Structure 1
Amino acid sequence: MLLISLVPIIFVLIGMIVLKKSAIVVSPLTLILTIFLAFIVFKMNSANIVNETIKGVTEGGKIIFLVWSAFAMLVMLQYTKAMERIKITLANITDDRRILLIMIGYCFSIFLEGAAGAGTPTAICAPFLVGVGFTPLSAAIAGMLGAGIAPSWGGAGATTIVGHSVVAEHIPLQLASAISGLIAMFGAFLIPSIMIFALLGKNGFKGLKKYILFISLITSFSFFLITNYIGPEIVSLGSGAIGIIASLIYVKVFKHETPDEYRYIPEKINHNENSIPTVVKAFAPYTILIIALPVIRFSFPLATLSKYGYVVWIACVIFMVVLLGSLILNSLKYYPIFIKESLLKVIPAFISMGSLLSVANIMKQTGMLSIIAQSLSNFAGNGYPIVAVLIGSLGTFIAGTGLGSNIMFGPMHMSAAELLSLNKVTIFAAQNVGGAIGNMICPNNIVAVAATVDTLGKEGEIMKKCIPSWGILVGVYGLVGVIFTHIIFL
């Protein structure tokens, strides 16, 4: 049954990476295959299959609603020439586009994860990176890699807080968050280097090693400090803000020579610079957004925001920001154009997203995921912390969220830890951080980021580029988890 349960996952990987087929082709075929297995092998009745498929399509529509809003914001910024002003302003902050890559694709991504979560970082940061000169494919890869740490906490700490609720009788919340932070700080230290190497190769570190070390230490220490001495609610929000501020201080205080090949020079403006928006107006949409998201998130109970689907309120906020931005940028009459143009771009992604989420639902209901996870745990023994990281990633790979992974597998880990006489806190923490890095290779998230930067059809390339980085973090987290479980927190 294990091999049969793995078939949908293998089919996706082969289709997207080996055969290089678009998700819009692979996803529906995977759904058909999964339905066949569910009906023939797992004896799932047709009514349940239809219900889980409808549920998946509905959830996919909600995520695409978020992608649509983010794309509309990019279209507005480009149409009003606000993005040109943003480019000029960022070039005045630093002429090194590698630093901009880390500031936007990593630090700003962490901040947005804490402000809202649920795919907001990649939806906003990837188009932003395109706007400042990165290729759409590079921006998509950066968006995926930059979102591999903070989702352990998500918007207002929801991933850890709600995920912990299913294991609350076994371990205290603060300790679960603290140990998760101790493991995640190693990932936070590595991600800036991983992003540079993945996108630019070893030559990308030329003249940048001091900044990489600086920002790696800052973000790593931030995760450690906030998780261990403050609490789970502001881990991502605080760490992201600290990273952005630290980067701004670095480029202003320390002398930095940028190699010519990595120098960021905005394209020459073909019209009078006075015709483009002022700095205040150009940045107004982002300013409103980074204020509105955390204010709304911390002002309402999670149940209220999740009433129609957690991502729905985020998308509504972004659409309102696009409306206000259109007003501020004197382009209100073009608002319908922004909405229509962005909608046409994301419709194909809806097919992929709905299919993939339906596959996830059916795999959960048939027990395929549980079979895979249980099989891994049966062979683990003292290496169980490594397996916990892998299972956490597996849950996110299929379900699309670290929270879903925690809820799905948290109780199983507690039972395994008890049987193996292992520390339940370190095992849950391994699951929690594993769920976060699962975001880096999650097909649902890849489809979403590809849609926001108009690279649908290249999902396999994105995944192929992210898998080695994911593998490195699985190894590091697994090793740290083993050391914590068998030596430090024995």
Structure 2
Amino acid sequence: MMMLLAILPIVVVLVGMIVLKKSAVIVSPFTLIFTIILSIISFNAVTGELVTQTWKGVMSGGKIIFLVWAAFAMLVMLQKTRAMDGIKIALASITDDKRILLIMIGFCFSIFLEGAAGAGTPTAICAPFLVGIGFTPLSAAIAGMLGAGIAPSWGGAGATTIVGHSVVAEHIALQDVTAISGRLAMLGAFVVPIIMIYALIGKKGFKGLWGYLLYIGAVLGASFFVISNFIGTEIVSLGCGAIGIIASLIYVKVSKHQTPEEYKYVPEKLSPEEKDLIPSTMKSFAPYLILIIALPVIRFSFPLAVLAKYGYVVWIAVVMFIIVFIGSIILNNVKGYVSYLKEGLIKVIPAFISMGALLSVANIMKSTGMLNIIAQGLADIAGSGYPVVAVLIGSLGTFIAGTGLGSNVMFGPMHMQAAELLSLNKVVLFSAQNVGGAIGNMICPNNIVAAAATVDTLGQEGEIMKKCIPSWLVLVVIYGVAGLLFAHVLFPTFGM
């Protein structure tokens, strides 16, 4: 009975956004009010604690929106200065297949950015980028969500795994967790490019593309395996993303890939006068190039505690605002800097309402024990199938809390207890939790609101979630089955 009550806030969000097709701006405050009432009536919540958790949620939401604002300001700058037209022309010279560009930017570049900074940076940058080169805002938001479902197992410089492991360090070794997580993630890395094409284009989208999809899937899968097992936690995402981008560039230059006419990416034709207004390729890409260099340099130059002092996403947003200013200088429009900020701010205000309410719901569910009740209920019925449940619990934590790291810290100790009771490998169970937390990003309402805000599709969050849930389910099944095999057949004693 308590488990059914505890799951009600999740049901309200899903019904409101998917079934009733209401905007998160409406669903989120309603869910918050419902959760507060439920907490008081059924979970003996104290009013003061509810106020505290709501305030924390609003503040956390403000920090995330600060990052979304920065990402939107960068997109506005690139559009207003015609730099995005320069980027379109340059990308068209690399490949005329917009499906390959989708995987390069929406998945490979996303993985790189996750390793460079994490904390929602990939979607905030990649989704607007995809809009800039011609994808619809809705498609770009969906691609941003799907592309962010693998690399968050490690996050910025490995923080998700490193910090998450800290709560179970007395039981298992960090490198063992990294290795098994990598062996699971390699399966996801192979499958996600295929999933993205199917989700966004359909079966017809595979026409003439299987060679690239199998190639890039194999390259990324091998990269996740090798780096996680033989190099180290900190550079898994960063290294795999860079390899994926380079491998894609090699493929389009070396292969004899023929693009079907319906999938050719052709920038709009411009008059000579319009072409004269477009910045050079180097100037057009300059803001992104500076960002690509700045994020990993800063992340690896300062301790995590320093960067997280005012909220981890804050330092990323500050860096992006600075780069927008530098970009306005490079693109010869310093006077427009304030207008970029104004336009971006107006667009993200509705998202702040949704984000603050959703994070408040997450805080209340954690503080009242609702999340633990749900997780424990799933664990109680799992038995030898617990590795599948570990994936689901990892996703549940991210769905509510918005981060895989928070999910790992919240549920890691519970998996250790379950492993002892069921005589299962602790490394495999925590790794299943770790990769499950990553794919939870695909359907997390907080992240969906952020993605929608960056491409100006607020109000379509339900449609985004509906498109992402089938892909999430596919990965749950893949990771669940692999977890069972790892725990019972392939690696029952690994690291123990």
Is 1:333 aligned to 2:335, yes or no? yes
Q: Are positions 1:219 and 2:220 aligned together?
A: yes
Q: Quick one: which of 404, 408, 411 aligns to 2:410?
A: 408
Alignment partner, residue 196 of structure 1:
197
- Matched length: 490
Deviations 1:175-195 (A, max 9, x none): 000000001100000000000
Please state how far the C-alpha of 1:268 moved relative to its aligned partner. Answer: 1.7
Counterpart residue type for residue 434 of structure 2: N
Deviation digits for residues 253-286 of structure 1 (CA, Å, limit 9, x no counterpart): 1111100110000112254312210011000000
Query: Structure 2 length normalisation: TM-score?
Result: 0.98
Q: Deviations over 1:125-175 (max 9, x none)?
A: 000000000000000000000000000000000000000000000000000
Deviation of 1:41 after TM superposition, in Å, equals 1.2
Q: Residue 473 in 1 paired to residue 475 in 2?
A: yes
The answer to whether 1:311 aligns with 2:313 is yes
User: Which residue number corresponds to residue 169 of structure 1?
Assistant: 170
Distance (whole Å) between structure 2 residues aligned to residue 448 and residue 272 of structure 1: 33
Partner-residue secondary structure (3-state), 2:237: helix
Q: 1:393 aligned to 386, 392, 395, which one?
A: 395
Distance 1:391 1:24 in 2: 27
Partner secondary structure for residue 310 of structure 2: coil
Provide the C-alpha distance between the structure 1 equivalents of 2:5 and 2:142, rounded to a whole number of angstroms: 31
Matched, 1:428 2:430: yes
CA distance in 1, matches of 2:5, 2:35: 10
Aligned residues: CA RMSD: 0.5
Deviations 1:385-420, CA, capped at 9 Å, x for gaps: 000000000000000000000000000000010111
Distance 2:339 2:274 in 1: 25
Secondary structure of the corresponding residue to residue 128 of structure 2: helix
Residues of 2 paired with 1:352 and 1:312: CA distance?
A: 19
Distance in 1, Cα, partners of 2:37 & 2:384: 37
Residue aligning to 2:90: 89
CA distance in structure 1 between the aligned counterparts of 2:270 and 2:365, rounded to whole angstroms: 52
2 CA distance for matches of 1:419 and 1:137? Answer: 45
Superposition pairs of residues 341-360 of structure 1, within 5 angstroms: 341-360=343-362
1:137 counterpart letter in structure 2: L
Instruction: Give 1:338 shift.
Output: 0.2
2:421 is the alignment partner of 1:419: yes
Matches within 5 A, 1:232-381: 232-270=233-271, 271-381=273-383
C-alpha distance in structure 1 between counterparts of 2:50 and 2:15, whole Å: 24
CA distance, structure 2, for counterparts of residue 29 and residue 197 of structure 1: 34
Please say if 1:119 is aligned against 2:120.
Answer: yes
- Cα distance in 1 for partners of 2:252, 2:275 equals 25
- Which residue of the partner structure matches residue 41 of structure 1? 42
2: CA distance, partners of 1:293 / 1:489: 36
TM-score in terms of structure 1 length:
1.00
Distance in 2 (CA, whole Å) between partners of 1:197 and 1:488 is 31
Q: Secondary structure at the match of 1:439?
A: helix
Q: Write the letter of the residue equivalent to 1:69.
A: A
Equivalent-residue separation in structure 2 for 1:358 and 1:52 (angstroms): 6
Deviation at 1:321, TM superposition (A): 0.5
Is 1:383 the counterpart of 2:398? The answer is: no
Q: Which amino acid aligns with 1:324?
A: I
Worse-superposed segment, 383-392 or 40-49: 40-49
Distance across 2 between alignment mates of 1:269 and 1:418: 66
Match for 1:338: what amino acid? Y
Residue 327 of structure 1: how far off its partner (Å): 0.5
Between the aligned partners of 2:26 and 2:261, the Cα distance in structure 1 is: 41
- 1:217-244 residue CA offsets vs partner (Å, 9 max, x unmatched): 0000000000000011000000000000
Looking at structure 2, the residues matched to 409 and 197 of structure 1 have their Cα atoms a distance apart, in angstroms, of 33
- In structure 2, give the amino acid aligned to 1:235: V
Amino acid across the alignment from 2:64: I
CA distance in 2, matches of 1:253, 1:6: 52
Q: Which residue of 2 aligns with 1:31?
A: 32
Q: Distance in 2 between matches of 1:377 and 1:46?
A: 30
> In structure 1, what is the Cα distance between the partners aligned to 2:49 and 2:154?
32
Once the two structures are superposed, the pairs formed by residues 456-471 of structure 1 within 5 Å of their partners are: 456-471=458-473
CA distance in 1, matches of 2:67, 2:422: 42
Gaps of at least 5 residues in structure 1 are none
Separation (CA, whole Å) in 1 of partners of 2:320 and 2:222: 31
Query: How many angstroms apart in 1 are the aligned matches of 2:269 and 2:10?
Result: 46
Q: In the alignment, which residue of structure 1 is the partner of 2:441? A: 439
Distance 2:469 2:365 in 1: 22
2:67, 2:325 → 1: CA distance? Answer: 15
Structure 2: distance between partners of 1:272 and 1:88? 13
Q: Distance in 1 between matches of 2:406 and 2:230?
A: 26
285-294 or 270-279, which deviates more: 270-279
Aligned mates of 1:269, 1:375 — CA distance in 2: 60
Distance in 2 of aligned mates of 1:142 and 1:272: 30
Range that drifts further, 265-274 or 232-241:
265-274
**For 2:266 and 2:282, how far apart are their aligned partners in 1?**
21
* Cα distance in 2 between the residues matched to 1:194 and 1:315: 30
Question: CA offsets, 1:343-386, max 9 Å, x none?
Answer: 00000000000000000000000000000000000000000000
Letter matched to residue 334 of structure 1: G
1:179 and 2:180 correspond: yes
What one-letter code is carried by the residue in structure 2 that aligns with 1:240? G
